[in-house]
Amino acid sequence: MFSRKKQPPLKSLIAQGTRVEGDLLFSEGMRIDGEVIGDVRARAEQPSLLVISETAQVEGTLHADHVIINGTVVGPVHAAELLELQPRARVTGNVHYKSLEMHQGAVIAGQMCPVAELVEEKPPLQLASNAS
């Protein structure tokens, strides 16, 4: 779903030195460099990217398709597609992901919960009989 070239644009920014208290709902891409106390959730209608930079601190639940963390998160993380934990990532809470990329130095204090894809049930394989 996400190639390095075709990620959603970062349309929202919480700048370093800014503190937001309350839940955030965003479209496409958001970058957090400051402090957020509240849940951060992407709208479900389109692909989403959430970047938590190395200067960021978030206390709350994160929900997006592609989540990149290099800062501090206290709360559960839900990445519907890809979760990238960069070297300075510090996550205290359970992480839910379809795919995971974790760099040396990243720390998770919680459970790692891979999200299983819904697998289409196939009919049982029938072997040809050996009637002669």
Spatial distance between the Cα atoms of 49 and 91, rounded to a whole number of angstroms: 18
Task: Tell me what the mean pLDDT of segment 119-124 comes to.
Answer: 54
Among the listed ranges 54-63, 95-104, 111-120, which one has the minimum average pLDDT value? 111-120
DSSP letter assigned to residue 94? -
**Predicted model pTM:** 0.84
- Closest CA relative to residue 90, chosen from 76, 70, 112: 70
User: Pick the residue with more confidence: 61 or 117?
Assistant: 61
Structure tokens at 83: 């979760």
Task: Tell me what the mean pLDDT of segment 49-68 comes to.
Answer: 98
Instruction: Supply the pLDDT for residue 116.
Output: 76
Average pLDDT, the chain: 90
* Predicted confidence (pLDDT) per residue in 8-56, tens digit: 899 999 999 999 999 999 999 999 999 999 999 999 889 999 999 999 9
Instruction: Supply the pLDDT for residue 14.
Output: 97
